[in-house]
């Protein structure tokens, strides 16, 4: 059996009130938690939607973009002179 099932069984046996938790869901301070739980779920769903939308916006660079990146890296390492870099960038445009 699952631990939660055992815990629920123990609660019901210790406090029999129609199988509900002690005090019942409709009594006491539970009226505060219902809107709070609804708000928490709305926030969780909004965060998941935001994460999905932001992750869909990311894309791989195209061939031309990647070529410019490689050329810029080679220039930064000193493998290509300024004139050669400018010439190749002009050809890529």
Let me know whether 39 and 67 are in one domain.
no
Distance CA 89, CA 87 (A): 6
20/49 Cα distance (integer angstroms): 34
Number of structural domains found in the chain? 2
What's the rounded mean pLDDT across residues 26-52? 85
Residue 21 lies in domain: 3-57
- The tens digit of pLDDT for each residue in 76-86 reads 999 999 999 99
**35/52 same-domain check:** yes
Encode pLDDT of 61-76 as tens digits: 788 888 999 999 999 9
Residue 24 confidence (pLDDT): 56
Residues 52 and 72 both lie in one domain? no
| Whole-structure pTM value | 0.39
Nearest CA among 73, 74, 77, 70 for reference residue 92: 70
Residues 49 and 70 in one domain: no
Q: Are residues 40 and 10 in the same domain?
A: yes
**Is residue 16 domain-shared with residue 46, that is, in the same domain?**
yes
What average pLDDT does range 19-24 have in this prediction? 53
């Amino acid at each position: 059996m699952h631990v939660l099932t055992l815990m629920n069984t123990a609660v019901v046996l210790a406090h029999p009130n129609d199988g509900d938790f002690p005090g019942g869901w409709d009594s006491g301070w539970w009226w505060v938690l219902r809107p709070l739980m609804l708000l928490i779920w709305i926030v969780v769903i909004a965060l998941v939607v935001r994460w999905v939308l932001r992750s869909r916006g990311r894309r791989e660079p195209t061939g031309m973009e990647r070529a410019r990146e490689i050329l810029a890296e080679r220039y930064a390492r000193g493998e290509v002179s300024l004139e050669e870099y400018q010439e190749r960038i002009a050809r890529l445009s």
